């Protein structure tokens, strides 16, 4: 009312200037009605006549979408994806095989057999739930904790082991540190260590796919810590303005190495940022493989059909240390870790579901655990016996034609090894 009165007074002053005679009426075209919306090009909004800042804690948190409860019961039958038994078994076996591989490679690093490792404990559901919802030709950009996606696509244990050992069978020829996998045949872009660099790269790939009208999507994985990087802002904004068929998949596992989410951001997680960039966004229970599957399936469908980016925030928990270079007991309690390991684990949740459907029993569980460990150990032992790549591979695969400075360096190395080769373990390298 006060605003309307002030507006009427302003109009009267404008119409009654000294010596101007009687007031005249303005037409609607001359003075717009107070109901007219702002015409600023930078935002779509209404006018407000009261000074008020938006407070982050006024808006309620984005809900967490789930399909199963912690005991493996379907909460809403309408949301049950009704996956066939064969597919559910593949989800479960991939998660448990990944868990077994993690345990063996983690221990191998502790024994000094490999230089580094990162486990996926507690986050297996985010991997396989999303991987199962994609087409095999969809392009994957991972961060470094998405081994389950590659495993679901059929990447063999031999190559996982070869990469971690950096032996002669490693497709990367021993040039990358462990867990930096990549596979062109399975459309999995090689991992790089710097955080969030994959995000704008993934958007560029999605834009190229859009221009080629290739009926594919890109999925880009990252953690909530990586979302604090500037590359995340650039990627989100590019994807929205260029209308790219991409799924941003954030694994919010509670910790960015040692930094908890309470120190990482003050807002409502990562999904809340999506609307500000123009991204369709959802928050899901990352320990519920069916919720992850449903969200990714629908996001993938719409991303391709509508050329629209989507943001999925999967809430989960990193049970293991950040890596073998980290000791998480320095910044979190054992009780906290045990809760997630024993009470809310994606593997146990899916196992409860399968037991309830009569698709699994304790004997099958024991048999699978034994056989999966045997498979991992066989690949492990084979990788350990293989030699390292030929030292000449230090100089290849950078240029199509080797430039003079690299040829000089290669010749210098050869001469050095001829004189001092006995001081190097050359017997462990492929000839």
**Residues tagged active-site:** 107, 193, 322-323
DSSP element (H, E) containing 101: helix 85-110
Region class of 339: left (phi > 0), else alpha (psi between -120 and 50), else beta: alpha
Alpha helices in 307-403 (DSSP H): 334-343, 346-357, 362-385
Q: How far apart are CA 282 and CA 142, in angstroms?
A: 20
| Tokens 């016996």 belong to residue | 385
Residues 125 and 289: beta-carbon distance below 8 Å: yes
Q: How far apart are CA 62 and CA 56, in angstroms?
A: 12
Please work out, in degrees rounded to the nearest 5, the angle formed at the alpha carbon of residue 379 by the alpha carbons of 376 and 385: 140
- For residue 321, what are the contacts with CB-CB under 8 A and spacing of at least 6? 119, 327, 328
- As a whole number of Å, the CA-based R_g of the chain is 28
DSSP element (H, E) containing 300: helix 289-306
Copy the structure tokens of residue 134. Answer: 């994609």
Query: DSSP assignment, residue 75?
Result: S
DSSP calls for 2-17: HHHHHHHHHHHHHH--
If we measure between CA atoms, which residue out of 293, 118, 88 comes closest to residue 223? 118
If we measure between CA atoms, which residue out of 87, 88, 89, 100 comes closest to residue 375? 100
Residues 298 and 282: beta-carbon distance below 8 Å: no
| Tokens 């050095």 belong to residue | 416
């Amino acid at each position: 009312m006060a605003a309307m009165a002030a507006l009427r007074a302003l109009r009267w002053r404008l119409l009654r200037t000294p010596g101007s005679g009687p007031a005249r009426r303005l037409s609607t075209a001359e003075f717009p009605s107070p109901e007219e919306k702002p015409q600023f090009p930078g935002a779509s909004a209404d006018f407000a006549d009261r000074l008020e800042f938006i407070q982050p804690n006024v808006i309620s948190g984005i809900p967490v979408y789930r399909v199963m409860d912690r005991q493996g019961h379907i909460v809403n039958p309408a949301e049950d994806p009704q996956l066939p038994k064969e597919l559910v078994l593949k989800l479960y076996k991939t998660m448990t095989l990944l868990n077994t591989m993690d345990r063996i490679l983690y221990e191998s690093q502790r024994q000094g057999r490999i230089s580094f490792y990162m486990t996926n404990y507690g986050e297996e559901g985010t991997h396989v739930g999303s991987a199962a919802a994609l087409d095999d030709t969809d392009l994957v950009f991972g961060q470094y904790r998405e081994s389950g996606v590659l495993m679901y696509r059929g990447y063999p244990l031999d190559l996982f082991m070869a990469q971690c050992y950096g032996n002669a069978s490693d497709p990367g020829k021993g040039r990358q540190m462990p867990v930096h996998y990549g596979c062109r045949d399975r459309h999995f872009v090689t991992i790089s260590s710097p955080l969030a660099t994959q995000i704008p790269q993934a958007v560029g790939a999605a834009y190229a796919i859009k221009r080629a009208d290739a009926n594919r999507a890109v999925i880009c994985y990252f953690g909530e810590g990586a979302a604090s990087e500037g590359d995340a802002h650039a990627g989100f904004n590019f994807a929205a303005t260029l209308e790219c068929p991409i799924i941003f998949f954030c694994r919010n596992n509670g910790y960015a190495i040692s930094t908890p989410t309470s120190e990482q951001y003050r807002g409502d997680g990562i999904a809340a940022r999506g609307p500000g960039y123009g991204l369709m966004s959802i928050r899901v229970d990352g320990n519920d493989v069916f919720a992850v599957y449903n969200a990714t399936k629908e996001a993938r469908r719409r991303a391709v059909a509508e050329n629209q980016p989507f943001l999925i925030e999967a809430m989960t928990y990193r049970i293991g240390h950040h890596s073998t270079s980290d000791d998480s007991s320095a910044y979190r309690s054992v009780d906290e870790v045990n809760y997630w390991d024993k009470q809310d684990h994606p593997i146990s949740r899916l196992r409860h579901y399968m037991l309830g459907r009569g698709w699994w029993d304790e004997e099958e569980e024991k048999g699978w655990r034994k056989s999966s460990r045997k498979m991992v150990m066989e690949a492990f032992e084979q990788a350990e016996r293989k030699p390292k790549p030929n030292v000449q591979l230090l100089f290849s695969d950078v240029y199509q034609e080797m430039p003079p400075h690299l040829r000089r360096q290669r010749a210098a190395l050869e001469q050095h090894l001829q004189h001092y080769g006995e001081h190097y373990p050359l017997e462990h390298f492929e000839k």
